[in-house]
Structure 1
Amino acid sequence: MGMALSRDRLISHLLTTRLAGDVATSREWNLRNYARFARRDPDVLFGLDPLGAWTEAELLALMARRCGVSPDRYHRQGQDTIDPELTADALERLAEVLGETAAAKGGVLLGTGHPSRLLRMYDAFGRALRAAGCAMRTPARGARFTMHTPEGPRRRGLDYRRHVGVLVVYEGPASNNQNEARRSTGEPTHTHSPQPVRIALAALAESGETPPDLVIGDHGWICGAGRLGVPAAGFADSNDPAVFVAEEEGQVAVSVPIDDGLRPDCYRLPTAYVLQLAGLSQ
């Protein structure tokens, strides 16, 4: 890969790109989602069934500690932050998990609710793990289902188009005809839903296969997997309290605090850093 990436260079990149530091996610948005989580709003639970009560005050304290948002309960609007040191710490924990999975040649399932932003990163992880001897699991390819969204029920499809097999939700057709459905599958879509990973894991079970040794993803992909007892690790923004609660409660192995809505090239250096530490650089 060339010259080794240092932690200092990673921190500098996180701050320059605003993957961490002064991030674009507003304080109002963060606090609104913490309040919704405290009310057990399904749209922000990501499939998690929290073990604790999690009041708004407890969530703010947790997010300050695990993500680096301001702990000041009187700070109600404007800028909020992600601590780049916490991001670096979590990326290093993720590298450890990937290294252990690669050493064991484990089965890996990759899925993302942020296909327009994070797909290249997951694709790089998948290629490196496959090169190390891991089996990439791609269950339920071509599955069609009705997804419950904030806008109401929507037809969706579960599939992948990249060779390594990062599962993504696509805008689905109205038709139930499989041939017609495959021809008319729409664009990848953003989702927080745990339905996709539940469908994927159920397909593995129905075919008599074992669950993956690791699910890598975000949003409902890792919270949904963790809730079902499948080891999971991935990424979350400062307005995604469910992922950090899941890690705090031991349902998710690693949650990396990072702005998950930036240009795909912004994630190239953090990806390389993780693969370098995991001994998986190609």
Structure 2
Amino acid sequence: ARLRKAAADGERVLLATGHPGGLLDVHRRTADALRAAGCEIVRIPGGLMADEGMVFQFADVAVLERGATLWHTHSPVPMAAILDGLEREGRPQPDLVVADHGWAGCAGQRGIDSIGYADCNDPALFLGEAEGTLQVTVPLDDHVADPRYYDPMTDYLLDAAGLLPSVDRE
């Protein structure tokens, strides 16, 4: 429902992951679907540093890079760097953040509507949803052996939001 609202309203959406090895394509496909529906995918400021790494976008998804490697992180610091960078540049904050771990939690704590993917062994986002800080927390195993295993879940979520192109439904 929250993705459907973002699409209907043409919202500014920021996607980010602390699990680039597993969830990058989930977020990339979501970004593609939202853009096709008229949303603006937020471009993050360049040159952002956080947690001894660089924060940048890969396939429209904000990630943390250290030493030419996309880094797994639960830290909220990369999202804080993005949101602070947008503010410094005088750009509006996103209307919606779709992320995981501290990336989603940080945005929610700052009052930005947030959807978070979370593993049951990382309860913070579930607590955030229960407290009303996050709009939705999607439970999943956040690092399966083959990221293509997320395709059915991604198809389901995009279809439920009315964002799955009809060619993908066959």
TM-score tier (shorter):
over 0.9
Which whole-Å CA distance do the structure 2 matches of 1:141 and 1:236 have between them? Answer: 27
CA contact (8 A) 1:140 1:158 kept: no
1:246 aligns with 2:151: no
Quick one: which of 133, 140, 150 aligns to 2:45?
140
Counterpart for residue 78 of structure 1:
none
CA shift, 1:161, in A, is 2.7
CA shift, 1:115, in A, is 0.1
Q: How does 1:213-252 map to 2 (within 5 A)?
A: 213-252=95-134
Percent of aligned pairs sharing the same letter: 41
Structure 2: runs of 5+ lacking an equivalent? 166-170
Counterpart for residue 157 of structure 1:
54
Q: How does 1:1-282 map to 2 (within 5 A)?
A: 96-145=1-50, 147=51, 155-162=52-59, 165-172=60-67, 186-262=68-144, 263-282=146-165
CA shift, 1:200, in A, is 0.6
CA contact (8 A) 1:140 1:199 kept: no
Whichever of the two has the greater Rg, that structure is 1
Q: Secondary structure at the match of 2:91?
A: coil
Structure 1: runs of 5+ lacking an equivalent? 1-95, 148-154, 173-185
The residue type equivalent to 1:167 in the other structure is A
Which whole-Å CA distance do the structure 1 matches of 2:44 and 2:81 have between them? Answer: 8
Which whole-Å CA distance do the structure 2 matches of 1:264 and 1:97 have between them? Answer: 24
The residue type equivalent to 1:247 in the other structure is E
- How many residue pairs were aligned? 164
The residue type equivalent to 1:229 in the other structure is G
Moved over 4 A (4+): none
CA RMSD of aligned residues (A): 1.0
